[in-house]
C-alpha cells in the first residue's frame, strides 16, 4: 500500500517537474506569438520587439524581428492587446522596439502627460506631429525614428462604378458633385473631426444619414455595394477593397491625423546600437501603404503566417 | 501572385470552422501554445497549492485568522483579471511571472477552502489515537491528517486546475496566454479555424489534467476505493 502511494507521488511530481522544465525550455526559445523557430544564434544579445496583436502589427513585428535577427540579435516578440501595456515597458527597457503609429503614440503620450481633455497635438501634418511627439517621447526615454510614408489612416470608400461614372478620385470631387450622401460608419462618427464633422465642415459634404455599420466590416462593404449607403469607412491598408469593386477616395484636405508607421525605440537601447537607425530608416523608406494592404490581405484572407509574409516582403525589397 | 493564390486552401478562403489544412500548417504554433498553456497552468496551481497549505494550517486553529484568510482570498478572486495583471505589470513586466502570480492568487480561493475543509474532515478520534501513540505534530500532520484530507484537497485541485486552464487564456494581454494568444489573434481577424482549434485544445487540456488528477488521487488514496 505504502509503496503504491510512494510511486504515485513520485509519478505526479515527475510529471509536474517535466512539464515545468519543458516550459522553461520553450520560454527561452519562444518568440511567444509570432513564433520564432528560426531565431538566429546572434551574439549581439537579446532584443524584445513589442506591439499589438492585430494583423498589421503582427506582420510589422515579424519584419522587425527578421531585420534584427539578420543583424545578429536574438529576438523575442511580445505582442499584447493594447498600447498602455507595452508603452511603459518600452520606456523602462522591458521592450526595446515597437512598430507604432505616429498620431496614435503621440495622442497616447499627450493624454498621459496633459490629461484626457488636453487639445490634440497630432494632425494631418507628419512633420508637425513628429515635432510634437519627440519631446513627449524623450521625456519617457523613448526615441522616435523617422516615420515611413506608409500610413494606416481611416478612409472612405465608394464603389468603383460610382467613382468612374462621376470621375471621382478625392473627397473634394464627391463634395463638388453636391449629391446627398448616406454614410456607413461606426456610431461615434457623428461630429468627429476625422469623420462626419470633418466631412461636412471641411469638405462640405451633404450627409443626410449615418447608418451605424462597423469600421471595415463585411457589412459596411455589402451596404455600399448594394447601394444602401453611398460611402463607407475603412482603413487605408484594407487590402480587400479592389476585389470587391470598391475604391478609396483620397483625403485631399487632410482631415485624418497622420498615422504613419514609425519605429519607437527605447532610448538606451538605441544609444547602445546606433547603427540600427540606418537599418530601420531603409526599412521605413521601402515600406508603402500598398505593401501594408497587400500583406494584411495575405494574412487575413489567405491565412498566411505573418512571419512568412514578412520574409517575402523583405526578400522582395532586397532588405535581407 | 495568382499562381500562389490558387494554392490557398479552400477552407481558408471559405473561413471554415473545421479546416484540416490549418491543423497541419499551424502545427508548430499549436504545439508551442499548448505547451506554454500547460506549464503556466501547472506551475500556477502548484504555486497556489504550496501557498494554500500553510495558510490553511494558520487558519484552522484561529477563527479570526480563518476569516481573514478565507475572506482575503475571496476578495482577490473578485478582482477582474485585467485589473490584476495591470497591477502586477509594473513589477513583473511582460513575463510569465505576471500571469503565474495572477493565476496562483485566483487558485488560492478554491485551494485554501478545500485544504481547510479536508483537514477539518479528519475524525477527532483518529487524531487522538495518533497523539496517544506519541506522534509529534509534524508527524501527525504528514502521516495522518494530510493523507486523510487528501480526497477533499484533490477535489479542490481538480476544480482549480480546470478553472486555471480556462483563466490562463487571459495571459494573452501580456503575451503569455498559451492558447489564449492564438484565440485573441484569431478573434481579431475572424480566423474561425484557429478559434475552433485553440478552443478545442483548451477543452482537451482541461479534461486531460482532470483525468491525471483523478488517476493520481486513486493511486494516492487506495482506501477510498474500497469504502464505496
DSSP A196-260: HHHHHHTS--EEEEEEE--TT-HHHHHHHHHTSSSEEEEETT-TTTGGGTEEEEB-TT--S---B
**Which residues, 6 or more positions from A168, have their beta carbon under 8 angstroms from its beta carbon?**
A158, A162, A174, A177, A249
Q: Residue A44: its pLDDT value, please?
A: 84
Compute the C-alpha angle A34/A37/A42, nearest 5°: 105
Q: Which residue has the higher pLDDT, B123 or A30?
A: B123
CATH topology of domain B27-219: MetI-like fold (1.10.3720)
Mean pLDDT, all residues of chain A: 88
Pair type for strands A46-52 and A74-80: parallel
Whether A89 and chain B come into contact, CB under 8 Å, resolves to: yes
Residue A29 has pLDDT above 50, yes or no: no
Tell me the pairing of strands A97-101 and A261-266: antiparallel
CA angle (A168 as vertex; A167, A173 as ends), nearest 5: 120
Angle, in degrees to the nearest 10, between helices B27-61 and B146-167: 140
Q: Is B227 touching A (CB cutoff 8 A)?
A: no
Q: What is the mean pLDDT of residues A253-268?
A: 96
Mind telling me how many Å the CA of B213 is from chain A's nearest CA? 9
Residue B188 has pLDDT above 90, yes or no: no
Alpha carbon distance B14, A302 (integer Å)? 10
- Asked whether residue B53 carries a pLDDT value surpassing 90, the answer given is yes
Q: Report all structural domains of chain A as residue ranges with CATH numbers, in order of start.
A: 33-151+258-316 (3.40.190.10), 154-249 (3.40.190.120)
* C-alpha grid cell, residue B165: 486552464
The reported pLDDT for the residue numbered A240 is 87
Nearest to A80 among B26, B39, B173 (CB): B173
The one-character DSSP state at A186 is -
pLDDT over 80 (residue A28): no
Structural contact between residues A70 and A320, judged by C-beta atoms closer than 8 angstroms:
yes
Tell me the count of A-B CB pairs closer than 8 A: 118
- Using a CB-CB cut-off of 8 Å, the residues of chain A touching B38 are 19, 23
Residue ranges covered by each domain of chain B: 27-219
Is the overall model pTM greater than 0.80, yes or no?
Answer: yes
Mean local confidence (pLDDT), A152-176? 96
* Residue A259, pLDDT above cutoff 80: yes
Write the pLDDT tens digit of every residue in B9-31: 999 999 999 999 999 999 999 99
Region A177-188 average pLDDT: 92
> Is the per-residue pLDDT at A200 higher than 70?
yes
- CA dist A298 and A304 (Å) reads 6
Are B43 and A23 an interchain contact pair (Cβ–Cβ within 8 Å)? yes
Task: Please tell me the predicted confidence (pLDDT) of residue A26.
Answer: 39
Q: What is the dihedral of CA A215, A124, A65, A136, to 10 degrees?
A: -120
Residues above pLDDT 70, as percent of chain A: 87
Is a pLDDT exceeding 50 seen at residue A36?
no
Cβ within 8 Å, pair A82-B39? no
Residue A21 has pLDDT above 70, yes or no: no
Q: Which of residues 144-203 of A touch B (CB under 8 A)?
A: none
Does A320 reach chain B within 8 Å, measured CB to CB?
A: no
CA A69 to chain CA centroid, Å, is 21
User: B225 or A278: whose pLDDT is higher?
Assistant: A278
Q: Percentage of chain A with pLDDT > 90?
A: 77
Could you report the per-residue pLDDT of A109-162, keeping only the tens digit for each? Answer: 999 999 988 898 999 999 999 999 999 999 999 999 999 999 999 999 999 999
Question: How many alpha carbons lie under 13 Å from residue B41 in its C-beta half-sphere?
Answer: 30
HSE value, Cβ hemisphere, 13 Å, CA-based, for B228: 5
- Summary mean pLDDT of chain B: 92
Q: Going by C-beta distance under 8 Å and a sequence separation of 6 or more, which residues neighbour residue A102?
A: A122, A126, A129, A130, A133, A147, A151, A257, A258, A259, A260, A261, A262
Whether residue B214 lies within 8 A of chain A, CB to CB, comes out as no
Q: What is the pLDDT averaged over residues B37-49?
A: 97
In this prediction, residue A192 carries a pLDDT of: 87
Q: Is B134 on the interface with A (CB under 8 A)?
A: no
Query: With an 8 Å Cβ cutoff, are A1 and B222 in contact?
Result: yes
Determine the pLDDT at residue B86: 86
Chain B residues touching residue A303 (CB < 8 angstroms): 8-9, 12, 22, 25, 191, 193
The rounded Cα A39 to chain-centroid distance in angstroms is 23
pLDDT bracket for residue A43 (50, 70, 90): confident
Length of chain A: 320
d(CA B42, CA A298): 37
Amino acid at each position: 500500500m505504502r509503496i503504491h502511494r510512494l510511486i504515485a507521488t513520485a509519478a505526479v511530481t515527475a510529471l509536474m517537474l517535466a512539464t515545468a522544465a519543458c516550459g522553461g525550455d520553450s520560454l527561452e526559445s519562444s518568440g511567444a506569438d509570432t513564433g520564432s523557430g528560426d531565431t538566429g544564434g546572434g551574439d549581439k544579445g537579446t532584443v524584445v520587439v513589442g506591439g499589438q496583436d492585430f494583423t498589421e502589427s503582427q506582420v510589422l513585428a515579424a519584419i522587425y524581428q527578421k531585420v534584427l535577427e539578420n543583424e545578429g540579435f536574438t529576438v523575442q516578440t511580445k505582442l499584447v492587446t493594447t498600447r498602455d501595456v507595452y508603452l511603459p515597458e518600452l520606456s523602462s527597457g522591458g521592450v526595446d522596439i515597437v512598430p507604432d503609429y505616429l498620431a496614435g503614440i503621440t495622442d497616447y503620450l499627450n493624454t498621459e502627460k496633459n490629461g484626457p481633455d488636453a487639445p490634440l497635438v497630432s494632425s494631418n501634418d507628419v512633420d508637425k506631429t513628429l515635432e510634437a511627439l519627440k519631446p513627449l517621447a524623450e521625456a519617457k526615454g523613448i526615441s522616435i525614428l523617422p516615420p515611413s510614408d506608409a500610413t494606416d489612416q481611416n478612409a472612405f470608400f465608394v464603389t468603383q462604378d460610382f467613382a468612374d461614372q462621376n470621375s471621382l478620385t478625392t473627397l473634394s470631387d464627391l463634395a463638388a458633385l453636391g449629391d446627398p450622401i448616406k454614410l456607413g460608419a461606426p456610431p461615434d462618427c457623428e461630429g468627429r473631426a476625422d469623420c462626419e464633422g470633418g466631412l461636412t465642415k471641411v469638405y462640405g459634404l451633404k450627409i443626410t444619414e449615418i447608418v451605424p455599420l462597423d469600421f471595415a466590416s463585411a457589412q459596411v462593404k455589402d451596404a455600399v455595394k448594394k447601394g444602401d449607403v453611398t460611402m463607407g469607412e475603412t482603413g487605408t491598408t484594407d487590402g480587400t477593397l479592389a476585389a470587391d469593386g470598391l475604391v478609396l477616395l483620397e483625403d485631399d484636405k487632410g482631415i485624418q491625423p497622420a498615422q504613419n508607421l514609425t519605429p519607437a525605440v527605447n532610448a538606451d537601447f538605441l544609444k547602445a546600437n546606433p547603427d540600427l537607425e540606418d537599418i530601420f530608416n531603409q526599412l521605413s523608406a521601402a515600406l508603402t501603404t500598398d505593401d501594408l494592404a497587400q500583406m494584411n490581405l495575405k494574412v487575413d484572407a489567405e491565412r498566411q503566417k505573418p512571419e512568412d509574409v514578412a520574409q517575402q516582403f523583405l526578400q522582395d525589397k532586397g532588405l535581407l | 501572385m495568382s499562381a500562389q493564390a490558387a494554392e490557398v486552401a479552400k477552407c481558408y478562403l471559405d473561413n471554415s470552422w473545421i479546416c484540416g489544412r490549418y491543423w497541419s500548417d499551424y502545427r508548430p504554433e499549436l504545439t508551442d501554445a499548448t505547451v506554454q498553456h500547460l506549464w503556466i497552468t501547472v506551475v500556477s496551481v502548484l504555486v497556489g497549492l504550496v501557498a494554500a497549505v500553510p495558510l490553511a494550517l494558520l487558519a484552522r486553529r484561529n477563527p479570526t485568522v480563518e476569516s481573514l484568510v478565507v475572506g482575503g482570498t475571496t476578495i482577490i478572486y473578485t478582482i477582474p483579471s485585467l485589473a490584476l495583471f495591470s497591477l502586477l505589470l509594473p513589477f513583473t513586466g511582460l513575463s510569465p511571472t505576471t500571469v503565474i502570480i495572477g493565476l496562483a492568487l485566483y487558485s488560492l480561493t478554491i485551494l485554501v477552502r478545500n485544504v481547510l475543509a479536508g483537514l477539518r474532515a479528519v475524525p477527532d478520534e483518529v487524531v487522538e489515537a495518533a497523539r496517544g501513540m506519541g506522534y509529534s505534530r509534524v508527524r501527525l500532520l504528514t502521516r495522518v491528517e494530510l493523507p486523510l484530507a487528501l480526497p477533499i484537497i484533490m477535489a479542490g485541485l481538480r476544480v482549480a486546475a480546470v478553472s486555471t486552464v480556462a483563466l490562463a487564456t487571459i495571459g494573452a494581454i501580456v503575451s503569455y496566454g498559451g492558447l489564449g494568444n492564438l484565440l485573441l489573434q484569431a478573434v481579431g481577424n475572424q480566423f474561425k479555424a484557429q478559434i475552433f482549434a485553440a478552443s478545442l485544445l483548451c477543452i482537451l487540456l482541461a479534461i486531460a489534467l482532470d483525468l491525471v488528477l483523478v488517476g493520481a488521487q486513486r493511486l494516492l488514496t487506495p482506501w477510498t476505493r474500497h469504502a464505496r
